[in-house]
Amino acid sequence: MSNVASKIGYSFKSLGPGFHHHRFTSGDVGFDAWIWRGQPGPVLVLNGGTHGDEYEGPTLLRQWIDNWRPGDLRGTVVMIPVLNEGAFFAGARCHPFDSANLARAFPGSATGTETARLAHLFESAVLAQATHYVDLHSGGNAYELHPWVGYMIAAGKIDREQRAMSACFDRFWCWAAPFLPGRTLSATHKRRIPSIYVECRGAGGVRPEDLSALDHGLHNLLRHLGCVAGEIGPLAKQRFRSSRDAGEAHLQIHHPAPHDGLFACNINLGESVRADQPIGLVWPLSEGDPSVIRAERAGTVVACRRQRSVRRGDALFTLAPL
Ligand SMILES: [Zn+2]
């Protein structure tokens, strides 16, 4: 079978009820998927490892693949623990061959570099079949986050559904922001597929409370979608921020390091700061005074760099006006 045929030939709807495994490939890129197929209903796609150094999503999905055997499933649940294997085995955010960020590569291209081809494969072979989508991220090795769930603001019914999906993850705060190009969610936004992403803490590891919060949210989501029977328990009220500024939730652009050096963080994650408050320092490795990093706005610290070596332009903090 040709690569193209194998890519478009695997239809979830053609599978019988039960538990299936499939490896999607196109040339030298590919990923493994586990498919839980029940009665006709929604097709929920879940993936971790869009970035290679984020481990909470992959860990939780592997646990579900080992342990979750729903007796009476309605719909189809597709789990892809590690989408970006090249980045994963490099222990890095981006793919080592082309240094490209998969979360900026959509819709990708069948003839581009590794990352572009992976984006194209994932969108055309998997996302194109989804009715609902969740992308599991985290702060990775270099950042620690005040965990949240988020989505790209859409029109009418889709926006309400995304808000309801987010509310299922009630141990996270919620951040809605306008469309940005290149993401997995950009692809599903254009296809009008209700979609959310989750950002766990990161800082190089996997915290049990993050896994537990994710697990709780996924169980709620499956009930919300009607994939499994049962009522969702009372959901905790979520702190919610809806932004009109697409840049607000774009973590890589805030508080850039003014030069290479050694970074010191002087505030705590989750702390409230006022505009212009000194929140960190960057010392040059050569002689000279440190640069003081000041808060670009008032808000809550929701992302902080944990890797202390910084290059000019590396983002150091993100503040959300919660
Ligand atoms: Zn990520």
CATH code, 166: 3.40.630.10
CA of 36 to the centre of ligand 1 (A): 25
CA of 16 to the centre of ligand 1 (A): 33
Same domain, 68 and 205: yes
Are 175 and 249 a contacting pair, CB within 8 Å?
yes
Cis peptide before 107 (omega within 30 of 0): yes
DSSP string of 240-257? EEE-S-TTTT-GGGSSB-
pTM for this prediction: 0.94
Same domain, 263 and 149: no
175 part of a folded domain: yes
Same domain, 25 and 56: yes
Give me the pLDDT at residue 71, please.
Answer: 86
170 part of a folded domain: yes
What range does the domain containing 287 cover? 252-320
Give me the pLDDT at residue 3, please.
Answer: 41
CA of 146 to the centre of ligand 1 (A): 14
| Average pLDDT for runs of 10 along the chain of length 322 | 51 95 95 97 98 98 96 96 98 95 96 96 98 98 97 96 98 95 97 98 95 97 96 92 87 92 96 97 95 96 97 96 88
Same domain, 200 and 312: no
Q: How many domains does the chain have?
A: 2
Same domain, 273 and 192: no
Who surrounds ion ligand 1 at CB < 5 A?
A: 51, 54, 137
Give me the pLDDT at residue 8, please.
Answer: 54
CATH code, 262: 2.40.50.100
247 part of a folded domain: no
Instruction: Specify burial of residue 63 (Cβ count, 10 A radius: 0-12, 13-18, 19+).
Output: middle
Give me the pLDDT at residue 246, please.
Answer: 82
